[in-house]
Amino acid sequence: MFVRGEKMSSEEIEKEIRSIPLHLTTLDKMIIAHMVIGGIISGFLIEYLTTGYIDNIPKSFITTVIIAILTVLSGLTYYIILKRRFEKAG
């Protein structure tokens, strides 16, 4: 563990560099699946939930809120996955 502000040694940087693969991994395949499924869901949102009203509220408002929530969830999920993965890798 590092003390705040302490400089890393080059050995520790090397370790971090080695933990990143350049080839496609399982996580990368999950990312591609996320993009495909997310694209389909977003396509439906655009098609059916951006024009017209529900109880005087524009559908675009509902879509904007849904996408904001999905964006935060998406970032949080990857943050947790990556933290755990790097903890394991060291």
Partner 1 sequence: MVGILPIVVFAIYLAIYVSLPYIALKRGGRGVAEYLVAKGTLGKIPAIFTLIATYVSVYGFIGYAAAVYTAGYDWLLVDLTYNWFILVPMTVLLGFRVWKLAKIHNLITPGDFIALRTGSDIARLIYAILVFWAASFYIGIQFIALSGTASALTGISYHVFLVVFAIVAVVAIFIGGLRGVAYTDTFNGILFLSVLAIFIGFLISRWGSLNISEALRNPIFQRTLPTQYFVTAYLIAIAWPVLVPHLWIRYHAIERRDTITTSILSYALVWAVLYCIMPYILVMTFAAWWATPPKVTVPEEYVARFFSELIGPATATTAFLGILGAGISTADSIIQTCVATLYRDILETIVKPIAKWPEKKRELLARSMTIVVILFAMMAAYAPALPIIRIGVLFIWPLYSILAITVILALFWRRVNKYGFIAGLLVGSISQLLLQFVIWPTWPHNPWYLWEGALPTIIAGIATVIVSLITPPPPKDIIEKFYRE
Query: Residue numbers of the site for partner 1 (CB under 8 A)?
Result: 8, 13, 16-22, 24, 27-28, 31, 34-35, 37-39, 41-43, 45-47, 50-52, 56-58, 60-61, 63-65, 67-76, 78-79, 82-83, 86
Closest separation between CB of residue 3 and partner 1, Å? 14
CA distance 90 to 88: 5
Query: Residue 64's CB: how many other CB atoms inside 10 A?
Result: 13
Return the number of the residue (3 or 21) whose C-beta is nearest partner 1.
21
Whats the size of the chain, residue-wise? 90
Closest separation between CB of residue 78 and partner 1, Å? 5
DSSP E strands in the chain: the ranges are 53-54, 57-58
